[in-house]
Amino acid sequence: MHSKNFGNQNILCIFAVGNVSRGRKSPLLLESPFHNIIRQQTEMIDKLHVLNVIETTLKGSDKFLVDLKISTDNRINVAIDGDNGIVIDDCIALSRAIENSLDRDEEDFELNVASAGLDSPLKMKRQYKKNIGQDLTVDTFDNEHYEGLLTDADDKEIVLRLAGKKNAKAEPLHIAYTDIKTAKIVIKF
């Protein structure tokens, strides 16, 4: 087996050595269980292309990319957020921009563009900044669990005001982004 990168495509070649009538060794084309995997790898949509389309479309707005996933069977899932929220028209506009940049005759794909849900973990520093004043639950890589009011967020850390015992003064807790395993907004009804 040999893999070679040609531009933006990886080509995987499987060679079998066999003797032909003139005594030379030559590669034989094989139908193998890897055939579908090889085809999927060479036909997968270029993530960098989709990322560039998203960045170009969102540039100059208060909208930003939270997550981009492209599966091997070309299912494209995009999650976006905005400093002032997301409306359906934002998702439609981005979906059209991505779809218009891809050729359905060459690449069959499924596209889903949605806002980052309220119950989704916060992933971007910008999401923390826009949610100052909200209650959060935070789990750290040290297996600590905190719940409190998000009072500040800068480029290095967040500050939670933890509720103490009744009639006790709430204490601020500084948590570096690198220590956060997951953080979610507490949804209150």
The CATH number of whichever domain residue 130 belongs to comes to 2.30.30.100
Provide the mean pLDDT of the chain: 81
pLDDT: which is higher, 128 or 27: 128
- Verify that 61 and 106 share a domain, yes or no: yes
Q: How many CA atoms lie within 13 A of 76 on its CB side?
A: 23
- Verify that 68 and 97 share a domain, yes or no: yes
pTM surpassing 0.95? no
Chain-centre distance for alpha carbon 189: 29
Which of residues 87, 115, 143 is at a domain's end? 115
DSSP type of residue 117: P
pLDDT, position 57:
97
- Verify that 140 and 104 share a domain, yes or no: no
Q: Is residue 10 in some structural domain? A: yes
- Verify that 11 and 30 share a domain, yes or no: yes
Comparing C-alpha atoms, which of 105, 102, 114, 112 is closest to residue 45? 102
- Verify that 68 and 106 share a domain, yes or no: yes
Please, what is the Cα angle at 177 between 121 and 118, to 5 degrees? 20
Cβ proximity of 44 and 60 under 8 Å: no
In this model, does residue 79 exceed pLDDT 90?
Answer: yes
- Verify that 54 and 99 share a domain, yes or no: yes
- Verify that 135 and 165 share a domain, yes or no: yes
Residues of the chain with pLDDT > 90, as a percent, come to 65
113 CB neighbour count, 10 Å cutoff: 21
In this model, does residue 37 exceed pLDDT 60?
Answer: no
Q: Is residue 120 in some structural domain? A: no
Q: How many domains does the chain have?
A: 3
In this model, does residue 6 exceed pLDDT 50?
Answer: no
pLDDT, position 96:
97
- Verify that 56 and 90 share a domain, yes or no: yes
As a whole number, mean pLDDT of residues 105-134 equals 92
- Verify that 97 and 135 share a domain, yes or no: no
Give the separation between CA 134 and CA 47, rounded to whole angstroms: 33
pLDDT: which is higher, 150 or 45: 150
Q: Is residue 60 in some structural domain? A: yes
Structural domain containing residue 26: 2-43
In this model, does residue 124 exceed pLDDT 70?
Answer: yes
Q: For residue 166, what pLDDT band results from cuts at 50, 70 and 90?
A: low
Q: Is residue 53 in some structural domain? A: yes
As a whole number, mean pLDDT of residues 94-105 equals 94
Give the separation between CA 74 and CA 45, rounded to whole angstroms: 6
- Verify that 110 and 53 share a domain, yes or no: yes
